[in-house]
Structure 1
Amino acid sequence: MEVFESPALGRRALLLATLPSALLGCVVPVPSRVVHPQSPLPAKVLACYYAAWDTRTYGISDVPMDFNVTYLFHAKPNGPPVDRSWINVGDGSFRFDHHAEVTASQVQRCRARGQKVILTVGGERAGFNFDNRHKSRNFVESFRAMYDAFRGLDGCDFNNFEAKVGSSPAEMIWIAQQLKALYGPQFAITAPPEPNSPEDRAMLKAMADAGVLSWAAPQFYGWPGFNAAGFISNRTDDWVRDLGADKVVLGLAANYANGPSLQDCIREWETVRGRHPGIRGMFCWNAQFNLAGGNTWGKMMKARL
């Protein structure tokens, strides 16, 4: 296992080493942060988003083993909402509000059977613009608290900058570097950007060039234009050109009315895979819709992965 200590803990250890032995019994030791080594990320990804507010019918551990990655959606900025929006509220720290519905034990059950669990931060009405180091530091500390509350996670999925909320590429890179320093090189840094956003693509290219991006997964749902034959595959060419095929995952829909049909998904995936054999994989929005459809999407797309 790897042990990581904060600078404060390092200074405390040095102080303890210089204290007379008679005084050591008066000092309360501070435990080190222990991080267990992680297995490699999947070479090919089949993922789904699990909506933490919709646990009445399906739990996170009901996600079928066809999926090797589950995104836990979502943590929000830690501040009071304004008109039911958390966009840019608070000081950069985030919080997860559904620990009663999605417990650490459930998350660890998924991880123990080989499914990666990645926590999404941000989302619709929950974006945050990291534009200075103070906010970025607050985020890292809050992520550490969420990681510890779950007793471990496999990655951080940045959904904070969509809908033109934006963020400084330098700050996003710095945050990702800190998380990888804490949790190891196999800790996933991912994002589900808007496919048609040049700003999102530029930010993720900067993160990929800096060596901190595991993959980006443009989300091709929520707009009827994505259903047109060739749109997804043609737009994916742009993302592959910027990031490389091994860092692109297709965001698709499973049994979801406002997204491409199963046949649309199959058609576009087959085209993309033919053009870019190294394409990393695909995800669906969302786990609950897929399960309500009998996991048909999961089974069909796993066979084509």
Structure 2
Amino acid sequence: MRRRLSSALTALGLAAACALLPTTPAAAAGETAAFSKSSDWGGGWEGRFTVKNTGTAAITGWRVEFDLPSGTTLGSYWDALLTSSGNHHTFVNREYNGSLAPGAAVTFGFLGNGSGAPLNCRVNGLDCSGTSTQPGAPGAPANVRVTSTGSSISLAWDPAQGTVSGYRVYEGSTLRSTTTGTSASFTGIPACSSRTYAVAAYNSAGETRATAVTGTTTGCQQADLPSHILTGYWHNFVNPATELRLSAVPDEYDVVAVAFAEASSTPGAVTFGVDPELSAALGGYTDAQFTADVAALKSRGKKVILSVGGEAGRVAVGDATSAANFASSVRSIMTRYGFDGVDIDLENGLNPTYMAQALRTLRGQVGSGLIITMAPQTIDMQSTGSSYFALALGIKDILTVVHTQFYNSGSMLGCDQSAAYGQGSVNFITALACIQLENGLRPDQVAIGLPAGQGAAGGGVVAPSVVNNALDCLARATNCGSFRPPRTYPGIRGAMTWSINWDVTNGNSFARTVAPHLDTLP
């Protein structure tokens, strides 16, 4: 928002792959386990095989077996004991009775003569693409899936490789279920509650856990917010848009985000006060008058939140100390002015781990009524691996809504990954909102953000009717463009605009068109 004008295979056990790869550069410790063959030097080649413990417990023993084509022989070897029977070879790690710590890796190396690549690779009796935490234990259950209702969370998974006696389902460290099937359900869970489960396959030799998954029961509406909301940003600065006191915000807005709190000299901490230039432009607007206006808006049933950052913001929360400072400073500002929550609008990068820590601390201080919103740029929500998306998923249990800025973006791929959609269209809005809706966020946590007319953004400005069409497409599968989402999302939370000031400048067209339409959604 503008203020002023190789491929790694991972599992909870052993990770390995058997591929013929060039040796330059050599595989580094911690990379995918792989055979590598050097350039031909008189018919000889060097092979390496790396195994990494990607689990959370030490591994006490393992072996690697493979065959070589006829005519290929082995020369010297190191870092392992080697037994051979014809062209079937077995590596047993020297520390067989020791252990391989979590995150540690070991590389087996040998010299060979001939031209054959390794065949029939096995780790602890399983194919190299399988996993194991102990010799003889089954592989990890694959493709663990989670579904939720208002009071239950259900899991399903694909069968594990190897000999399987059954499956155990853990909630944290607590065993919750044992089954010989490939599904489990847990009931009686309160609405909007998250639970994290790990599924393990076991036999007499041991067990192997899959990566843990988190499910959240439905029914997570903010108790005192409408099902569908319109959010607008109010400028605490002067630019070409209309300056207005907070009390003059049009009634169509449900949530007003005050932009912005800024970085202070204390790492992670933010500061806020009525901007002196704005105060002068309004003929004198004091902190006391602003505070009274916050109260006035709240008396009209509105929520007023503090937005942190903006295009020029440089708030950095990158460690535990700065996370504590952030939470403490935001809590202090909320108390002083009467804000209902905080909006994260950091457009110059964020650390999802420590920002999540800060927001959880703040939630613990304020309570369940705290509103937490986020305003990422479009590029920030293209992948669950991005820091913003990771933050949203990491605080999903306390997050109110993400209103992504679907503007100033250029063309981008949507959730179908089949075409690049140009900004400023129904296709762009719906195809990119679909990424969030199909990758972990609940519909009530997703809103679409658009500029409030000319001057508000450099690109992606649309008529308010286009915003309504996009909402219809997502909620009802009507008024779509050529892109159609894979399902409907009746709980889509609503819309956001940058900004209230620009909307007033442009005749309030955005709020007067979009707000009534939100009331018609399912």
Same fold (TM over 0.5): yes
Report what 1:41 is aligned to: 225
More helix by share: 1
Report what 1:260 is aligned to: 461
**Matching of residues 110-189 of structure 1 within 5 Å:** 110-150=297-337, 152-160=338-346, 162-163=347-348, 165-167=349-351, 169-189=352-372
Report what 1:231 is aligned to: 428
Q: Percent identity?
A: 25
Q: CA deviation at 1:138?
A: 1.1
Report what 2:448 is aligned to: 250
Gaps of 5+ in 2: 1-221, 280-284, 411-421, 477-487
Report what 1:52 is aligned to: 236
Q: Which among 484, 490, 495 is matched to residue 282 of structure 1?
A: 495
**Matching of residues 11-22 of structure 1 within 5 Å:** none
Q: Encode CA deviations 1:89-127: one digit per residue, 9 max, x unaligned.
A: x41110113265461111111111111001001111213
Write the distance in 2 (CA, Å) between the matches of 1:215 and 1:251: 11
CA contact (8 A) 2:331 2:366 kept: no
Write the distance in 1 (CA, Å) between the matches of 2:227 and 2:355: 24
Q: Encode CA deviations 1:24-58: one digit per residue, 9 max, x unaligned.
A: xxxxxxxxxxxxxx972332111100011139742
Q: CA deviation at 1:129?
A: 3.2
Write the distance in 2 (CA, Å) between the matches of 1:180 and 1:41: 17
CA contact (8 A) 2:268 2:326 kept: yes
CA contact (8 A) 2:231 2:253 kept: yes
The worse-fitting range, judged by mean Cα deviation, of 46-55 and 64-73 is 46-55
Q: Report the count of equivalent residues.
A: 252
Normalised to the residue count of structure 2, the TM-score between the two structures is 0.46
Write the distance in 1 (CA, Å) between the matches of 2:394 and 2:377: 16
Write the distance in 1 (CA, Å) between the matches of 2:300 and 2:441: 30
**Matching of residues 96-111 of structure 1 within 5 Å:** 96-98=272-274, 101=285, 103-111=290-298
Report what 1:21 is aligned to: none
For residue 282 of structure 1, give the secondary structure of its aligned residue in structure 2.
strand
CA contact (8 A) 1:41 1:186 kept: no
CA contact (8 A) 1:127 1:159 kept: no
| Amino acid in structure 2 at the alignment position of 1:205 | L
CA contact (8 A) 1:48 1:285 kept: yes
Write the distance in 1 (CA, Å) between the matches of 2:467 and 2:318: 36
Write the distance in 2 (CA, Å) between the matches of 1:131 and 1:220: 27
| Amino acid in structure 1 at the alignment position of 2:508 | N
Greater relative CO (CA pairs within 8 A, separation 6+): 1
Write the distance in 2 (CA, Å) between the matches of 1:201 and 1:246: 16
Structure 1 or 2, whichever has the larger Rg, is 2
Write the distance in 2 (CA, Å) between the matches of 1:272 and 1:56: 32
Report what 1:304 is aligned to: 517
For residue 250 of structure 1, give the secondary structure of its aligned residue in structure 2.
strand
For residue 405 of structure 2, give the secondary structure of its aligned residue in structure 1.
coil
CA contact (8 A) 1:172 1:207 kept: no
Q: Which among 402, 413, 422 is matched to residue 216 of structure 1?
A: 402
More strand by share: 2
Gaps of 5+ in 1: 1-37, 80-89
Q: CA deviation at 1:183?
A: 1.7
**Over the residues paired in the alignment, what is the CA RMSD in angstroms?**
2.0
1:68 aligns with 2:254: yes
1:271 aligns with 2:458: no
CA contact (8 A) 1:154 1:187 kept: yes
For residue 469 of structure 2, give the secondary structure of its aligned residue in structure 1.
helix
Moved beyond 6 Å, runs of 4+: none
